[in-house]
Amino acid sequence: MSNLFLLFSHTLTPEQVKDANEVLGVEKIVSLPLSLQQMWSDINPVGELNTKPLEEILLWLKEHASKGDFVLIQGEFGATHYLIEHCFNVGIIPIYATSKRIYEEIRNGDGTVERKHIFKHVNFRRYVKWGEKY
Q: pLDDT (tens digit, 9 = 90+) per residue, 24-33? A: 999 999 999 9
Give the CATH number of the domain where residue 83 resides.
3.40.50
Do residues 29 and 4 touch, judged by C-beta distance below 8 A? yes
What pLDDT is recorded for position 87?
A: 96
Does the residue 132 lie in any domain?
no
Q: Is the pLDDT of residue 10 over 90?
A: no
Which of the two residues, 31 and 101, has the higher pLDDT score? 31
User: What is the tally of structural domains in the chain?
Assistant: 1
- 131 lies in a domain? no
Question: 134 in a domain, yes or no?
Answer: no
**What range does the domain containing 62 cover?**
2-126
C-alpha–C-alpha distance, residues 59 and 39, integer Å = 14
Residue 80, CA distances (Å) to 46, 76, 95, 110, 115 in order: 16, 6, 11, 44, 30
> For residue 38, is it within any domain?
yes
Is the pLDDT reported for residue 133 higher than 80? no
Q: Look up the pTM and report it.
A: 0.86
